[in-house]
């Protein structure tokens, strides 16, 4: 931010202060996009960006198998955001885009049914009648395996 003063017949820079950089979901120093640079310097947009990032990560964590669809939606949205031209009402336009995307992510997250705890393959049968029971040698600890008759017979020289 620069402060100017009028000196005789022209303006002079009186003081120059850099605009603050607010924390966002990406590295402001590495981005080359004008829109992303601008978001770094507007506090309300930076807050929306962090909020969207948090909700998006939570959604992806709940959908590990279907994240490709969600990632494609996020990429499409990001391209739409990056196409915004910096002009008189660009902050309002970006705020609206962020709020719409946050609402969409919240809606998708709300539709996810909590996953039921997985049951074992023998959940209805007594352990003695389960056909998929593991053998005691495979399921026991290594010290028990070393002492089992089968492992002792294997170690004896012929």
Gap between the Cα atoms of 26 and 127, Å rounded: 52
Query: Token pair 């959604």 is at which residue?
Result: 59
Higher pLDDT, 155 or 9: 9
How would residue 113 be classed by pLDDT, with cut points 50, 70 and 90?
confident
**Prediction pTM value:** 0.61
* Section 71-80 average pLDDT: 93
Residue 116 has pLDDT above 70, yes or no: no
* Core vs surface per residue 135-153: b (16+ CB within 10 A) or e: eeeeeeeeeeeeeeeeeee
- From the list 39, 55, 157, the residue with the least C-alpha distance to 112 is 55
Predicted local distance difference test score (pLDDT) of residue 103: 97
> What is the rounded average pLDDT for all residues in the chain?
76
**Through-space distance between the first and last CA atoms of the chain, rounded to whole angstroms:** 88
Higher pLDDT, 114 or 109: 109
Gap between the Cα atoms of 50 and 78, Å rounded: 14
How would residue 88 be classed by pLDDT, with cut points 50, 70 and 90?
confident
Residue 95 has pLDDT above 60, yes or no: yes
């Amino acid at each position: 931010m620069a402060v100017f003063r009028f000196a005789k017949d022209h303006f002079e820079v009186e003081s120059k202060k850099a605009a603050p950089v607010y924390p966002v979901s990406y590295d402001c120093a590495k981005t080359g996009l004008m829109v992303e640079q601008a978001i770094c310097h507007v506090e309300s947009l930076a807050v929306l960006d962090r909020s969207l990032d948090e909700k998006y990560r939570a959604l992806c964590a709940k959908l590990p198998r279907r994240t490709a669809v969600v990632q494609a939606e996020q990429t499409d949205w990001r391209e739409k955001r990056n196409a915004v031209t910096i002009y008189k009402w660009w902050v309002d336009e970006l705020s609206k885009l962020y709020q719409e995307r946050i609402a969409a992510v919240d809606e998708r997250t709300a539709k996810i049914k909590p996953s039921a705890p997985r049951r074992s393959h023998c959940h209805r049968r007594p352990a003695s009648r389960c056909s998929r029971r593991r053998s005691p040698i495979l399921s026991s600890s290594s010290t028990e395996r070393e002492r089992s008759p089968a492992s002792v017979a294997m170690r004896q020289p012929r």
